[in-house]
Chains A and B, each alone.
Chain A
Amino acid sequence: SQQGEEDPQALSIQEGENATMNCSYKTSINNLQWYRQNSGRGLVHLILIRSNEREKHSGRLRVTLDTSKKSSSLLITASRAADTASYFCATGDMNYGGSQGNLIFGKGTKLSVKP
Protein backbone atom coordinates (compact mmCIF):
# COMPACT_ATOMS: atom_id res chain seq x y z
CA SER A 1 0.00 0.00 0.00
CA GLN A 2 1.16 3.52 -0.71
CA GLN A 3 1.47 5.86 2.21
CA GLY A 4 3.06 8.91 0.67
CA GLU A 5 1.78 10.40 -2.54
CA GLU A 6 3.99 12.92 -4.27
CA ASP A 7 2.76 15.79 -6.34
CA PRO A 8 3.45 16.63 -9.10
CA GLN A 9 4.34 13.35 -10.78
CA ALA A 10 6.74 15.16 -13.08
CA LEU A 11 8.35 18.58 -12.99
CA SER A 12 10.52 20.24 -15.60
CA ILE A 13 12.41 23.44 -14.80
CA GLN A 14 15.41 25.47 -15.94
CA GLU A 15 18.71 25.51 -14.10
CA GLY A 16 18.72 28.14 -11.40
CA GLU A 17 14.99 27.89 -10.71
CA ASN A 18 13.52 26.46 -7.53
CA ALA A 19 11.73 23.11 -7.50
CA THR A 20 8.97 22.28 -5.05
CA MET A 21 7.58 18.80 -4.53
CA ASN A 22 4.76 17.87 -2.22
CA CYS A 23 3.95 14.69 -0.36
CA SER A 24 0.77 13.65 1.40
CA TYR A 25 0.43 10.68 3.69
CA LYS A 26 -2.41 8.86 5.39
CA THR A 27 -1.56 7.75 8.90
CA SER A 28 0.20 9.16 11.93
CA ILE A 29 3.94 9.24 11.58
CA ASN A 30 7.02 9.40 13.73
CA ASN A 31 9.10 10.95 11.00
CA LEU A 32 9.11 11.53 7.27
CA GLN A 33 12.06 11.12 4.96
CA TRP A 34 12.96 12.24 1.46
CA TYR A 35 15.10 10.18 -0.88
CA ARG A 36 16.53 10.79 -4.33
CA GLN A 37 16.99 8.20 -7.04
CA ASN A 38 19.05 8.76 -10.12
CA SER A 39 17.82 6.84 -13.13
CA GLY A 40 17.44 3.18 -12.17
CA ARG A 41 19.93 3.27 -9.33
CA GLY A 42 19.74 2.98 -5.57
CA LEU A 43 18.10 5.56 -3.39
CA VAL A 44 20.05 8.21 -1.55
CA HIS A 45 18.76 9.58 1.73
CA LEU A 46 18.35 13.37 1.64
CA ILE A 47 16.72 14.46 4.85
CA LEU A 48 14.65 13.20 7.78
CA ILE A 49 12.16 15.41 9.57
CA ARG A 50 10.58 14.33 12.84
CA SER A 51 6.92 14.76 13.63
CA ASN A 52 7.67 17.48 16.18
CA GLU A 53 9.64 19.53 13.65
CA ARG A 54 8.06 21.95 11.19
CA GLU A 55 10.98 22.81 8.98
CA LYS A 56 14.45 21.51 8.29
CA HIS A 57 17.28 22.66 6.05
CA SER A 58 20.18 20.85 4.47
CA GLY A 59 22.27 22.80 1.98
CA ARG A 60 19.95 23.78 -0.88
CA LEU A 61 17.15 21.59 0.49
CA ARG A 62 14.31 22.79 2.65
CA VAL A 63 11.70 20.41 3.98
CA THR A 64 8.51 21.37 5.75
CA LEU A 65 6.10 19.15 7.60
CA ASP A 66 2.50 19.86 8.49
CA THR A 67 1.19 16.99 10.58
CA SER A 68 -2.29 18.51 10.83
CA LYS A 69 -2.61 18.31 7.04
CA LYS A 70 -0.53 15.14 6.80
CA SER A 71 1.69 16.74 4.20
CA SER A 72 5.31 17.63 3.55
CA SER A 73 7.11 19.61 0.92
CA LEU A 74 10.65 19.49 -0.43
CA LEU A 75 12.12 22.65 -1.89
CA ILE A 76 15.32 22.55 -3.90
CA THR A 77 16.69 26.04 -4.41
CA ALA A 78 18.88 27.19 -7.31
CA SER A 79 18.51 23.83 -9.04
CA ARG A 80 21.27 22.31 -11.13
CA ALA A 81 21.22 19.80 -13.98
CA ALA A 82 22.71 17.30 -11.53
CA ASP A 83 19.49 17.50 -9.47
CA THR A 84 17.69 15.67 -12.27
CA ALA A 85 16.32 12.57 -10.54
CA SER A 86 13.21 11.08 -8.99
CA TYR A 87 12.36 12.21 -5.48
CA PHE A 88 10.43 10.07 -3.02
CA CYS A 89 8.95 10.72 0.36
CA ALA A 90 8.81 7.82 2.78
CA THR A 91 7.29 7.14 6.17
CA GLY A 92 7.65 4.36 8.69
CA ASP A 93 4.85 1.84 8.71
CA MET A 94 2.92 2.23 11.95
CA ASN A 95 1.05 -1.01 11.24
CA TYR A 96 4.08 -2.98 12.24
CA GLY A 97 3.87 -1.66 15.75
CA GLY A 98 6.93 0.45 15.64
CA SER A 99 9.50 -1.92 14.31
CA GLN A 100 12.17 -0.40 12.19
CA GLY A 101 12.47 -2.33 9.12
CA ASN A 102 10.44 -0.83 6.41
CA LEU A 103 9.47 2.42 4.85
CA ILE A 104 6.43 3.09 2.73
CA PHE A 105 7.27 5.11 -0.34
CA GLY A 106 5.18 7.26 -2.60
CA LYS A 107 5.40 6.94 -6.37
CA GLY A 108 7.81 9.84 -6.61
CA THR A 109 8.22 13.08 -8.49
CA LYS A 110 10.41 12.95 -11.57
CA LEU A 111 12.38 16.19 -11.71
CA SER A 112 14.10 17.31 -14.88
CA VAL A 113 16.41 20.31 -14.69
CA LYS A 114 17.36 21.69 -18.08
CA PRO A 115 20.73 23.42 -18.46
Chain B
Amino acid sequence: KAGVTQTPRYLIKTRGQQVTLSCSPISGHRSVSWYQQTPGQGLQFLFEYFSETQRNKGNFPGRFSGRQFSNSRSEMNVSTLELGDSALYLCASSFGLAGGWGETQYFGPGTRLLVL
Protein backbone atom coordinates (compact mmCIF):
# COMPACT_ATOMS: atom_id res chain seq x y z
CA LYS B 1 0.00 0.00 0.00
CA ALA B 2 1.45 3.37 -0.97
CA GLY B 3 2.19 5.75 1.87
CA VAL B 4 1.20 9.36 2.33
CA THR B 5 2.68 11.59 -0.34
CA GLN B 6 3.23 15.31 -0.20
CA THR B 7 4.12 17.74 -2.96
CA PRO B 8 6.19 19.69 -3.41
CA ARG B 9 8.94 18.54 -1.06
CA TYR B 10 10.72 21.89 -0.99
CA LEU B 11 9.51 25.38 -1.66
CA ILE B 12 11.01 28.84 -1.50
CA LYS B 13 8.71 31.85 -1.44
CA THR B 14 8.97 35.51 -0.57
CA ARG B 15 6.98 37.44 1.98
CA GLY B 16 3.50 38.37 0.84
CA GLN B 17 3.17 35.50 -1.61
CA GLN B 18 0.79 32.61 -1.16
CA VAL B 19 1.49 28.91 -1.33
CA THR B 20 -0.51 25.71 -1.83
CA LEU B 21 0.68 22.38 -0.53
CA SER B 22 -0.79 19.04 -1.51
CA CYS B 23 -1.25 15.78 0.36
CA SER B 24 -2.44 12.40 -0.91
CA PRO B 25 -3.47 10.07 1.93
CA ILE B 26 -3.16 6.32 2.15
CA SER B 27 -5.86 4.62 0.12
CA GLY B 28 -8.96 4.10 2.26
CA HIS B 29 -8.08 6.83 4.76
CA ARG B 30 -10.68 9.56 4.98
CA SER B 31 -9.04 11.83 7.54
CA VAL B 32 -6.19 14.15 6.68
CA SER B 33 -4.52 16.32 9.29
CA TRP B 34 -1.94 19.03 8.79
CA TYR B 35 0.83 19.98 11.20
CA GLN B 36 3.43 22.71 11.24
CA GLN B 37 6.84 21.92 12.70
CA THR B 38 9.32 24.61 13.67
CA PRO B 39 12.38 24.47 15.95
CA GLY B 40 10.80 26.94 18.34
CA GLN B 41 7.20 25.74 18.59
CA GLY B 42 7.64 22.09 17.74
CA LEU B 43 4.79 20.19 16.12
CA GLN B 44 1.55 22.11 16.07
CA PHE B 45 -1.80 21.01 14.74
CA LEU B 46 -3.25 23.13 11.95
CA PHE B 47 -6.50 21.42 10.96
CA GLU B 48 -8.13 18.14 10.11
CA TYR B 49 -10.43 17.23 7.27
CA PHE B 50 -12.74 14.29 7.16
CA SER B 51 -15.07 13.53 4.25
CA GLU B 52 -14.43 16.95 2.71
CA THR B 53 -15.35 18.80 5.91
CA GLN B 54 -13.05 20.56 8.32
CA ARG B 55 -13.60 18.72 11.56
CA ASN B 56 -10.95 20.28 13.79
CA LYS B 57 -8.91 23.43 13.68
CA GLY B 58 -5.83 24.48 15.61
CA ASN B 59 -4.90 27.91 16.80
CA PHE B 60 -3.58 29.45 13.61
CA PRO B 61 -4.60 32.68 11.84
CA GLY B 62 -7.07 32.70 8.99
CA ARG B 63 -4.21 32.97 6.50
CA PHE B 64 -3.95 29.21 6.89
CA SER B 65 -6.73 27.33 5.15
CA GLY B 66 -7.32 23.97 3.65
CA ARG B 67 -9.71 21.78 1.79
CA GLN B 68 -10.31 18.16 1.02
CA PHE B 69 -11.53 16.62 -2.18
CA SER B 70 -13.90 13.72 -2.73
CA ASN B 71 -10.93 11.35 -3.22
CA SER B 72 -9.63 12.43 0.24
CA ARG B 73 -6.67 14.30 -1.20
CA SER B 74 -6.13 17.54 0.67
CA GLU B 75 -4.53 20.88 0.05
CA MET B 76 -3.52 23.58 2.44
CA ASN B 77 -3.02 27.18 1.49
CA VAL B 78 -1.12 29.92 3.23
CA SER B 79 -1.80 33.43 2.02
CA THR B 80 0.29 36.55 2.60
CA LEU B 81 3.33 34.59 3.71
CA GLU B 82 5.38 35.82 6.65
CA LEU B 83 8.95 34.93 7.58
CA GLY B 84 7.63 32.99 10.56
CA ASP B 85 5.75 30.63 8.26
CA SER B 86 9.05 28.98 7.34
CA ALA B 87 8.60 25.46 8.59
CA LEU B 88 8.20 21.81 7.78
CA TYR B 89 4.55 21.13 6.95
CA LEU B 90 3.47 17.60 7.60
CA CYS B 91 0.27 15.94 6.64
CA ALA B 92 -0.99 12.75 8.18
CA SER B 93 -3.81 10.43 7.27
CA SER B 94 -5.91 7.96 9.19
CA PHE B 95 -9.22 6.15 8.88
CA GLY B 96 -10.85 8.87 10.97
CA LEU B 97 -13.22 6.48 12.69
CA ALA B 98 -15.44 7.73 15.47
CA GLY B 99 -15.38 6.44 18.99
CA GLY B 100 -11.84 6.90 20.21
CA TRP B 101 -9.31 9.64 20.56
CA GLY B 102 -5.89 9.96 19.07
CA GLU B 103 -6.02 7.45 16.24
CA THR B 104 -2.67 6.38 14.80
CA GLN B 105 -1.55 8.88 12.21
CA TYR B 106 0.48 8.00 9.13
CA PHE B 107 2.71 10.86 8.13
CA GLY B 108 4.02 12.02 4.81
CA PRO B 109 7.63 13.15 4.30
CA GLY B 110 6.67 16.81 4.64
CA THR B 111 7.04 19.97 2.60
CA ARG B 112 9.82 22.25 3.71
CA LEU B 113 8.80 25.86 3.13
CA LEU B 114 11.30 28.67 3.29
CA VAL B 115 9.96 32.23 3.24
CA LEU B 116 12.49 34.92 2.34
| Closest chain A CB from B53 CB (angstroms) | 11
Cα distance A31–B103 in the bound complex, in angstroms: 9
In the complex, which residue of chain A has the Cβ closest to the Cβ of B109?
Answer: A42
What is the size category of the interface that chain A forms with chain B? 20 to 34
Q: How many residues of B contact A (CB 8 A)?
A: 35
| Closest chain B CB from A37 CB (angstroms) | 9
Instruction: Say yes or no: A100 contacts B45, CB within 8 Å.
Output: no
A30 close to chain B: CB less than 8 A = yes
In the complex, which residue of chain A has the Cβ closest to the Cβ of B103?
Answer: A100
Instruction: Say yes or no: A99 contacts B108, CB within 8 Å.
Output: no
Which chain B residues border A40 with CB–CB below 8 Å?
88, 110, 112
If A96-B56, A107-B42 touch, does A42 touch B90 (CB 8 Å cutoff)? yes
If A41-B110, A96-B56 touch, does A30 touch B100 (CB 8 Å cutoff)? yes
B31 close to chain A: CB less than 8 A = yes
| B 19-55 binary contact with A (CB < 8 Å = 1; else 0) | 0000000000001010100000011010111100001
Instruction: Say yes or no: B90 contacts A100, CB within 8 Å.
Output: no
Instruction: Say yes or no: A31 contacts B56, CB within 8 Å.
Output: no
| Closest chain A CB from B87 CB (angstroms) | 11
- A residues in contact (CB < 8 Å) with B: 1-2, 29-33, 35, 40-45, 48, 88, 90-94, 96, 98-108
- B residues in contact (CB < 8 Å) with A: 4, 31, 33, 35, 42-43, 45, 47-50, 55-56, 58-59, 88, 90, 92, 94, 96-110, 112
Given A41-B110, A94-B101, A96-B56: 7 more A-B contacts, CB < 8 Å: A1-B59, A42-B4, A88-B43, A100-B100, A101-B50, A101-B55, A101-B56
